[in-house]
Structures are given as C-alpha cells and as structure tokens.
Structure 1
Amino acid sequence: MELFFEIFFMIKINKHISQLKPSATLAINQNVKKLREDGETVFHFGFGQSPFPIHKSIVGALKENVKQSHYLSTTGLYDLRVQIAGFLKKHQDVDANWEHVFIGPGSKELLYQTILIFEGTFLIPKGSWVSYLPQIHSKDGKHAILETDLKHNFKLIPEVLETYCKQHSNEQNILILNSPNNPTGAVYSNQELQAIAKVCKAYNIIVMSDEIYSQVNFKKDFSPSISKYYPEKTIVFGGLSKVFSAGGYRLGFMYLPKDLQQLDNVYRSLFSETFSAVATPIQYAAIKAYKMKPKLKKHIKKSNSVLKAISSYVYSELAAVNIQCTTPQGAFYMMIGFNGFKKQINALGIFTSISLAKHLLNKYCVALLPGSDFYFKEEDLFFRLAFVDFNGKKALNGIEKKGNIEDTFVQNYCPNVYNGIEKLKLFVKSL
C-alpha cells in the first residue's frame, strides 16, 4: 500500500485539473442514488434532469437510424444544422445562418470548447450554473463574479455590468448569461436583455448565451434571447437535454454570430482534435426534434404546465413559512434561502450552506445543493431546489385523466416533491 502511494504521488498532472472536484450536480445525484439503493428515503431536490419521457417521434427516428455507423462532419449533419437554424428563427427568434451552426456532444462540451478558445476575463453573474467556473479554472482562465440580489430574482442588472466594464475597459470581457436560469428559474425579459445588450455593445463584450432551457418557459412558448438585441457578438447555445427531455442523448448546438464567424476554422480544428463528431444516429434523431411538429410541441407545452404547477406550489408553500424564494419563471429550479432563520441555525452550530445541506440530508432526508456551488458566499444560506423528483409519465397521464391540474396534483402525482417540501417546513418550524 505504501509503495502504491509513493508511485501515485510521483505522477505529475495539470495542477488546474487536479484541483477540480466532481460536478456538484452529478455528485449529489450519485450520492442520492447510493442512499436509495441502500434503502434510505431521500427527497431529491439536488439534480435537474427532465423527468418526462422522450417524445415517441424522436425515439422512432433514433430506431430508424440505429444502423447509421459512419462518421459525420465535425461540425455536424447538414440537414440537422439547417433544421436548427430554422428552429432558432421560428421558436427562439434568433436569426441564424446554418453554415455557422455547430453540433457537439451536449451544450456543456460546446461551452467548454468556447471557454478554451477565448482569452480574457469571463464574467459570471452570481447565481449561475455550477460548471462555468470549473471549466474556466481548468484552463487557468480569468474570471469575475458579478453581484446580483434576490430583489431582482438574482438577475444581472446593467448597472452592475457597466460598473465592472468601466473599471476593466482595456480587457476582453466575455459575459456568460443563462436564461431561463439554472439555478434560480428566472427568465430575463426583453427589456432587461435590451438594457444589458446596450452595455455589451458599448464595451465590445462577447456574450455566451446559454439558452438550453429556452422553451421551458411558464408563460410563453420560448424565452427572449439577448441575440435579438446584440446579434453581432452573441454566441447562442442549446441542446436536446432539457426541452426535449433527452439528456442521455448528449447532443447540443451552438451558433456563431456575424462578428465571430472568422473563428469557424478555429472551432472546426478544435472539434476535430477532441470529440471528432457526435454519434450519427443521435444526429438523425435530433432532426425530428428540431422540426418541432405540432404533437411534439403539444407534449412540451403539457410538460411545462406540470412544471409550472409544481413550481407555484413549492413557491407558495415555502414562502408561507418565510423561506426566501426566487420567483420561478422557467427551467426546473428555484433558489431558496434560510437567512431569516440564521440566528437559530447558527445556534445549532451550523454557519455555512454546505453544513446546512448536510444537516438537512442527515436529519430530514432532503437533498439540496448549497448556494456556494452557484457562486454565493458560504455564509449565505441559499440553496438550489430542483423540483423534478417525480415520474413525468405518470404526471402527464394525470393531466390526461383529470383534464386539469387540481390543488392536490402535487401530492397525488409528485409525492417526493410534496413530502420533501413538508420536511423543509418541518425544519423551519423546529427552529
């Protein structure tokens, strides 16, 4: 054993990679799976996977093309790129030329490839997806966390962005913007994006717009894109995982805008030396998804109605016991906070969101991700709550059977969500 450790510690690896920890979302999901396999009851608010079945039209297209075995172009299947360009225009109001639409093994990988390519400072609003910063750290890149607050649903406001840019006007700044937002569930309005775009234009900022949840919107068919107001330097990212409930298919896309299209060959070269091409049968199946036929669109709309009902229930139940909540407008998430109970929680010997997350899991069987994974301070007792721990197929069947979503819908069709919320309420009442 001693010899093993001597050999292990003689191995030299990239120090920036060695300092990374497993993705917080994937790590908590594996932890909960292990607990459940061991017979433990856990109310899982820690992982944001779509619970709904993949529409049969997409599954059928995959079956039809399962024998497709040849490598495709590094940038992706021509028909798929054309289809996505049309989808972006019709279903996201983004003008996209198919020649600059690229296909990759998930939007996560395409975001990473983009981070590898650009030099400068990456600007991340507080309350953003867990993987942005680790990806930047892996290349020893520069970053800045931009302050947000609960009053604005943890959305970036233009004044904060402009203040930073005035102080760092000589740098190349790259803003990473995510709407609908993971972890808050917030959606930027047209007016908010227009105001941010004005600052971006003034300071020549490159924008990475993560729109993976665009059609998971509780009021409209799709969410506004900053690309509408800043098409010159906004790179748009999307994929199959959230809207089409196909996370395991691992297919994403990105659209390179007008002022950055000279980088086409840079992207092609990097793709060719890393992932080569996305699985061929998956690309053919994705064509069916991005055609967004009426039955598929109806399926997505019905799924969104379930998510909207659950988010409204969770918000009202937690707000009623004075737990802080962001207002859910899309995606699968809310940020919730226990800062109003900080004195009582500190009396338990708990001073950080990480410690409180462990306490809630051990004592109340509730799994939440601490806000520190989303760029909050550790002493800020905020958490991401993902409200998708339910059987999506049963929930959709419940709507078909009842014809509407009743007050008891969450209790009847989403028992883990219902019971988990009851546990959180019990915790607060115990303080």
Structure 2
Amino acid sequence: MINKNVLSLKQSATLLINEKVKDLRKEGRTISHFGFGQSPFPIFPSIVASLQQHADNNHYLPVAGLESLREHIVSFLAKEQGIHTTKEAVFIGPGSKELLYQTILIFEAEYLIPKGSWVSYIPQIQSKGGTYHILDTDLEHDFKLTAHALEAFLIDQPKEKEFVLILNSPNNPTGTVYSLEEYKALAEVCKKYSIMVMSDEIYSQINFNQPYSPSISAHYPEGTIVFGGLSKVFSAGGYRLGYMMLPEKLKDLQNVYKSLFSETFSCVSSPVQYAAINAYEYQKDLKQYVADSSAILKGVSAFMYDEFTKVGVQCTRSEGAFYMVIGFNTFKKQLSEMNVRTSSNLAHYILEHFGVAMLPGVDFGFQEEELFFRLAFVDFDGANVMDAYQKGSKIDALFIKEHCPSIYNGVTQVQAFVKSME
C-alpha cells in the first residue's frame, strides 16, 4: 500500500554522511568532513535581529509569500543578478529544495540532468515516477554541459516529447560557474527544441571572481524558472526559506502553484519571512560580508586545488559555491590491486583508513567506476576565520593550517593516501 517510488528512495547522501561523521567523532575519531555542504559563516546580525523582532508573529501569511518580501526579491534580482520580474511571478517556499520538488510535481515531462548535478534532483524525479536522462559531461569542461552535448541528445528524440533541463550554477558538486557565453549557446539549443529550464541559482552571490553569477534567463527569459533562497548566500540553511520566479510565458501557472502550495506547506514561517526582508534589502554591510565570505572560500579552494594537483589528483577549479570534484582515475591500476574499483568502495576506504569523509560521484550522476568525489570545503569555524580575514590576514597555507585545521588535515591525509599507493 506504500508508494513504490518512495520506497525505492534512500536517505539524502549529504545528510547521511553528516550523521556518519557525527557518530565517528563521538567515538573519538579525528575526521576531516568534506561531505556536508552547509555555509560555515554565522548569519549576519541584522537578519537575526529581524527574526527576533518578529518572533511573536504567529499569523498565516499569503500562500505565495509576504508581499513586501516578494517586492524586495524583485528588487534584489534586478540589482544583484540582472534578472527582471514582477512580484506576481515570485513565490516563497520552505527552501528552494521544496520549490524544485513542487515544480517537478507540476510538470509532466522528461528531465535532463547533466552528469555532475546535485544529489536531490534525481530522487525527487523518481519519487513521482518520472523519467530522467543523465547528459554526458567531462572533466575537460569541468563537467559543465555544453550546447553540443545537449543537442546531440535532443536531435535523436521524437518531436512530440517534452523535456525540462535542470541547471545549477555555481555548481554543486563541481564549484564551476557557467559563463554568459556558455549560457547563450545552451539557450539557443533550448529555444530550438522548446526546452524548459529550471535554473538553480541558490549560490549565485558566492562567486569568486564577480559579485554574482550569470543566469541563463539573460538569454532565455521566456523559458527559464529561477530558484534561489537564504541557505547558502546568507548562511541561513536552517531558516528554510527559498524563492522561485516564473517567466511571463508561464504566468497562467501562478494559480496552479498557489493551489498546490495551499494543499501542502500553506506558507513559510512568518518570522522567517520578515527576517528575509532584511536579507534581500542587501544593504552595504551585508553585501560586504557576503563578498568576504566568497573571498575566504576562494582562498581555501585555491589551496586545495594546488595541493591536490601536486600529487596527481584530478580536480575541478572552483569558481563559486563551496565545492570541488576530485578524481583518482589515474590510480585505477593500483586501486584495483587493492580490490577497490568503485567510488563507493574508495570513499569507504579513505574514510576508514585516512579519516576523510567525502561523497562518491555516483551520488551526483557519475558511474560507479568513475572515481570522482565531491568535496565541500566548509569544515571550519566561520566566525573565527572571518575575524582573522577581516583583520587583514592573507589566506595561504599557514592561514589554513592555523584557522582551518580540519581542511588542512584532510588535504594532508588525501596526499598521504596517494603516496601510500606509490
């Protein structure tokens, strides 16, 4: 009597590894935790103060979200992401994760997932009995989907089929960012084949080279649904507030979304919505705080990239978010002699023998025999690191050794693992 699609699901890999690490640390093990992607920085004080100020608000808010909050998001998107919309097109939900899921429930289409995508897209599609296709990507392009690969798949598909492409930039798990030129090429293919795009932009302002990351909606506004939220940019994962923006072309679906929301989560917590107004006002001091967070993460990722590539570990070069993908495919012969042939096997081996937790690539759309892994480089005291950085400290190996010891130890242990195979 239980939905077989739901029965086939397993617990989210990111949440599962977090629980595993907590258990090992309780046992006294020293573990470098590269498995869980939560912002390490404290929530900015003005956001917390706003939450406290409205803590006694116990009213149900409009299903689409607080009107003032939606107006602030419209302004934020225009000023800080170059996206223009109206408050009627913006919806508030309990995290962008839930809004992505509700959208997947609404659309009857086949879903296109680039290899190297967030862990929850595929399980969400599976839970409704949907169909998905993993599109090929490669390390040469940092696992970004190319227009050529997208069209190579679509050109052989029946014309009556409808597809939805899910894109994420800055990307989880790779940390890479699509350029406007890359998006332009993808948009041309999407227009040609009438593909709808779900653009997951939850990390948009965590960009290592510019204030925000490009959006495919700049080239394809009529066919792109944009998703964002508080969790990553504003370090407020536990607040559980996300937003989505429907394009003008899909305005007839506004009431469909409201109906579904009204029968599921009703509305997001009132105090959290009022606190979110403060975030999306994005005042100068908060904007600088986000920029400082990005600068710190950039320094940490550069250190890791340099240290990994020194010993022959494959590595994507992060441009945003707080992730990178590393690979051990050049060591397959040595690993095979150790009877380690899959990414799951290798993740378990490195955790048990070297105390480093990382997620196997199979959770992100890679094949088991592809020895790629996602690393989240956030296992440090964000308040301490922010304080040191704002006092003028340079983010180099000495800084990371002193202020990010778990990161430093994890990198050292991965290097020790590689040297053990020599």
TM-score by length of 1: 0.97
Query: Partner of 2:212: helix, strand, or coil?
Result: coil
Aligned counterpart in structure 1 of residue 418 of structure 2, from 408, 428, 431: 428
Q: Distance in 1 between matches of 2:390 and 2:163?
A: 49
| 2:393/2:399 contact within 8 Å kept | no
SS in structure 2 of the partner of residue 277 of structure 1: coil
C-alpha distance in 1 between matches for 2:239 and 2:92: 13
Following superposition, the deviation at residue 38 of structure 1 comes to 2.1
Describe how 1:382-401 pairs up with structure 2 within 5 A.
382-401=372-391
CA distance in 2, matches of 1:401, 1:278: 38
Task: Give the match for residue 110 of structure 2.
Answer: 121
- Name the Cα RMSD after superposition: 0.7
Report deviation, 1:403: 4.3
Cα offset, 1:34, TM superposition: 1.3
Output aligned runs, 1:206-355, within 5 Å.
206-355=196-345
**Does 2:12 match 1:23?**
yes
**Structure-2 residue corresponding to 1:157:** 146
Distance 2:352 2:397 in 1: 30
Q: C-alpha displacement at 1:405, in angstroms? A: 2.8
Q: Deviations over 1:247-284 (max 9, x none)?
A: 00000000000111111111001000000000000000
Contact 2:32–2:406 at 8 Å: present in 1 too?
yes
Q: Which amino acid aligns with 1:194?
A: K
Distance, in Å, in 2 between the alignment partners of 1:403 and 1:385 is: 25
Q: Report how far residue 401 of structure 1 moved.
A: 2.9
Give the match's secondary structure for 1:209: strand
Which residue is 2:185 aligned to? 195
CA displacement 1:159-183 (0-9 Å, x = unmatched): 1111111112321110000000000
Note the residue ranges of structure 2 that are not aligned, 5 or more in a row: none
Name the CA distance, whole Å, in 1 between partners of 2:115 and 2:135.
Answer: 6
Query: 2:324 aligns to what SS in structure 1?
Result: strand
Q: Taking every aligned residue pair, what percent have the same amino acid on both sides? A: 57
Out of 134, 137, 159, which is 1:145 matched to? 134
Letter in 2 for 1:404: K
1:235 and 1:110 map into 2 onto residues whose CA distance is: 11
Q: Distance in 1 between matches of 2:62 and 2:3?
A: 31
TM-score where L is the length of structure 2: 0.99
**Residue 404 of structure 1: CA displacement?**
3.4
Contact 2:303 2:396 in 1 (8 A): no
- How many Å separate the matches in 2 of 1:271 and 1:285? 21
* SS at structure 2 position matched to 1:402: coil
Q: Give the whole-Å Cα distance in 1 for the aligned partners of 2:400 and 2:14.
A: 24
Q: 1:142 to 1:22 in 2, by over 3 A?
A: same
Partner Cα distance (1:392, 1:225) in 2: 28
Residue deviations 1:117-173 (CA, integer Å, cap 9, x gap): 001110000000000000000000011000000000000000111111111232111
How big is each residue's C-alpha offset from its partner over 1:203-256, in whole Å with a ceiling of 9 and x where there is no partner?
111000000000000000000000000000100000000000000000000000
Q: 1:61 aligns with which of 50, 60, 81?
A: 50
Which secondary structure state, in structure 1, belongs to the residue aligned with residue 222 of structure 2? coil
2: CA distance, partners of 1:334 / 1:430: 23
1:3-152 aligned at under 5 Å gives the runs 12-152=1-141
| In 2, Cα distance between equivalents of 1:149 and 1:328 | 15
Q: What is the CA–CA distance in structure 2 between the aligned matches of 1:406 and 1:330, rounded to whole Å? A: 18
Equivalent residue for 2:166, pick from 170, 173, 176? 176
Give the residue type in structure 1 aligned to 2:384.
Answer: K
- Quote how far apart the aligned CAs of 1:407 are: 3.9
Asked if 1 retains the 8 angstrom alpha-carbon contact of 2:172 and 2:321, the reply is: yes
How many residues are treated as equivalent by the alignment?
420
Looking at structure 2, the residues matched to 256 and 306 of structure 1 have their Cα atoms a distance apart, in angstroms, of: 33
- Whole-Å separation in 1 of the counterparts to 2:111 and 2:251: 20
Which segment is superposed worse, 161-170 or 79-88?
161-170
Q: SS at the partner of 1:408? A: helix
Q: How many angstroms apart in 2 are the aligned matches of 1:404 and 1:86? A: 34
Question: What 5-or-longer segments of structure 1 have no aligned partner?
Answer: 1-11
Cα shift at 1:31: 0.8
Deviation at 1:32, TM superposition (A): 0.6
Runs ≥4 in structure 1, deviation > 3 angstroms?
Answer: none
- Deviations, residues 78-127 of structure 1 (Å, cap 9, x unaligned): 00000001101110111111111000000000000000000111000000
AA at the equivalent of 1:360: I
Aligned mates of 2:311, 2:26 — CA distance in 1: 32
